[in-house]
Structure 1
């Protein structure tokens, strides 16, 4: 009598109330082990953590809340300050005047509302354009639209200037989603950060709208250089003369992309991501160590013609998109290194590259975006050499 026939004969004893009911899980386990069950797993069950994709993406979105709030406030603050000198026009002005709130830069409500009127259209455009691309690929590939795009859309909206035309916003997120992620298989298979890929596309395709002195504050006629631009031309000592103190840069009250200006807001998000173990501390330590070590080296070397050589590491930390990129891009688990030692090397490579680009390449005063994409490209190679080194070490030890 075969095993299947035996189970068919004794199966009635396993039903509710049967004397062998307590053994039902054993029967179920044996049957599924020896025979193909009616329901099978259609994808690889690589369970490595109790935290699923939805929980990870939700935590990342929560971590961006301080940056979102600061983006609203600082965008409105910078805009209201410029309006006091240059005046205002457009539909946002009509909305604020209708509500009777005014353009007082000392009024937190006026700043938050004015910033919201710039952030909301950009974010809605990002959701619509990128969401359409996600749905199309999900329909063709017959899989669900996951929460990965929610994080991508939020990060992308925070790293573009408030003056970005909405059609460029849509074009950038489409490029990031399609070329940066979906052509490689979708969420979890991309080797480049999709949000940064879209931002890089806009930077090189439309440099006039993504760089310069007139793109950071959305008021016609107003021009104001970022802290990095001032440092590159006149040295970081000139920042104080222009009203940009280190504390202003740390708190985020300086011109820049909407969500990147506040190091404090980014630090709050980092603490949350580290506490929930979404972010790996090795990448953060490596990036900070690389940035600090290379900037100290350049400070020691010095230069009579390039004032950026003298910029200390603590100014690199609070200017441009370093803090935002460190927290939300460097620690991104998919496009980064996956070995423990590789994470240190990966972070250090980005930290060195961002200072190298800022100091030695005058065409790109920011640097963090290109440094992270550079690190994304080399992450698989870093992991390969770490694994090979481990194999050789174990072979020698056990040989």
Structure 2
């Protein structure tokens, strides 16, 4: 390790002559090695877990979702064509197709986001801040697989510049950066992140309907040559969508109109639970999200209070909506009441709630700081988010909006928690002082110290309260 360190330090550029190159070097150096300097004094504990290494834990927790999301991009594409319907059928084709779609999204996200951070760091004359490590890992997972790359680049630039650098950089932002990128696209380019066909890669809207791309690009032809050499199935030339039995609609899109019965007519509950459905790249697989949740809570990177508070808030809101919904549903029942009637546990496995409460709401910078505030913060995110999901017909999902809303009010939540603690401690101190004064008075009245000098009896010679 020392040899590697000595080799790397040979390339360190001069800070005064090349501030940008030195900033770039410093970013990679601190990624490879823990900080060599620590605070001095006997009261401090030396710890190599700096901010960069702390955030790597979150990135590691997302890796299974990246693998699954990459495969699911290809799986949904081939389902739309009526090919390789089995989970393992054409596995190599699905994985390669997914990689070809997700790698450009990942690269553009990091080139734009890190590029801006490098420029700001060089301009300010300090090291590159590590905040984009997690944001850069989250953004690709919350996007549709066919998001136009130029729109993605604009959204990332908007989120990093106006959401973070304008507030002073990492640790100073008040909103979650990854969600700012998504909310920018949602309001500026809504057709690229809403509807049915955007969640399945390779689907194009044509005048006469929806069709799959008729031919794959050069990369697929290259892989066809390789796969054919092994005798495996190849991509071919694409084709039209399956006329029957396919829909690009997500379970939430169906549930908002037809309730759970409509969802079951298209997807079985097992597919929804495992995540083999259309949707954002990394938000659909419940088991893998739960593994990531356990991982970051065990590593103490995420606070369990936010997550558990969110689960409680979700169940409370879900049961409340169930109570409002009609007892009996008929074909003529409005879709909003059918949506209300869905059991909270079924609501929980649809959409991106578990992903949002695990990886978005627990952001330590933009969430509440106090232990009590974290419970309130997580509860309100889930409660408000589910209300938005069910009662907003234009947007059958609510976590993006509810998290950004609670990001805004997190300092206010902490303020009232602090004030409540101050008042409670003041009352406790006043009660203790009152109890002490009452005890002293009682002892002065009831307890006497006597001397045997008076033949008639005993004479009090002191006030016990003075001792």
Q: In the alignment, what sits opposite 2:139?
A: 156
- Matched pairs, number: 341
Q: Which runs of 4+ in 1 moved over 6 A?
A: 46-50, 102-105
Q: Distance in 2 between matches of 1:286 and 1:151?
A: 23
Q: TM-score scaled by structure 1?
A: 0.81
**How far is the alpha carbon of 1:40 from its aligned partner?**
12
Q: Select which of 70, 81, 85 maps to 1:83.
A: 81
Residue 199 of structure 2 contacts residue 279 of structure 2 at CA under 8 Å; is this kept in 1?
Answer: yes
Q: Select which of 257, 261, 264 maps to 1:233.
A: 257
Q: Select which of 195, 217, 220 maps to 1:212.
A: 195
1:176–1:47 CA distance, 2 compared to 1 (3 A): farther
Residue 320 of structure 1 contacts residue 366 of structure 1 at CA under 8 Å; is this kept in 2?
Answer: yes
Q: In the alignment, what sits opposite 1:139?
A: 122
**How far is the alpha carbon of 1:108 from its aligned partner?**
2.1
Q: In the alignment, what sits opposite 1:55?
A: 53
Q: Select which of 98, 105, 115 maps to 2:98.
A: 115
Q: In the alignment, what sits opposite 1:333?
A: 364
**How far is the alpha carbon of 1:169 from its aligned partner?**
0.9
Q: What secondary structure does 2:173 align onto? A: coil
Name stretches of at least 5 consecutive residues in structure 1 with no aligned partner: 1-38, 86-101
Q: Deviations over 1:131-186 (max 9, x none)?
A: 22111111122221133212111100110001110001101111111111111111
Indicate yes or no: 2:321 matched with 1:298: yes
Q: In the alignment, what sits opposite 2:381?
A: 350
Q: What secondary structure does 1:215 align onto? A: helix
Structure 1 residues 298-307 or 160-169, which shifts more?
A: 298-307
Residue 129 of structure 2 contacts residue 169 of structure 2 at CA under 8 Å; is this kept in 1?
Answer: no
**How far is the alpha carbon of 1:277 from its aligned partner?**
0.5
Indicate yes or no: 2:395 matched with 1:372: no
Which structure has the greater CA radius of gyration?
2
1:40–1:109 CA distance, 2 compared to 1 (3 A): closer
Q: Distance in 2 between matches of 1:51 and 1:346?
A: 27
Question: How does 1:1-399 map onto structure 2 within 5 Å?
Answer: 51-84=49-82, 106-218=89-201, 219-220=203-204, 221=210, 224-242=248-266, 244-303=267-326, 304-305=333-334, 306=336, 307-399=338-430
Of Structure 1 and Structure 2, which has the larger fraction of its residues in helix? 1
Name stretches of at least 5 consecutive residues in structure 2 with no aligned partner: 1-36, 205-209, 212-246, 327-332, 431-467
Residue 302 of structure 1 contacts residue 309 of structure 1 at CA under 8 Å; is this kept in 2?
Answer: yes
1:103–1:357 CA distance, 2 compared to 1 (3 A): closer
Q: Distance in 1 between matches of 2:111 and 2:291?
A: 29
1:57–1:228 CA distance, 2 compared to 1 (3 A): same
Q: Distance in 2 between matches of 1:103 and 1:250?
A: 18
Q: TM-score scaled by structure 2?
A: 0.70
Q: Distance in 2 between matches of 1:246 and 1:143?
A: 51
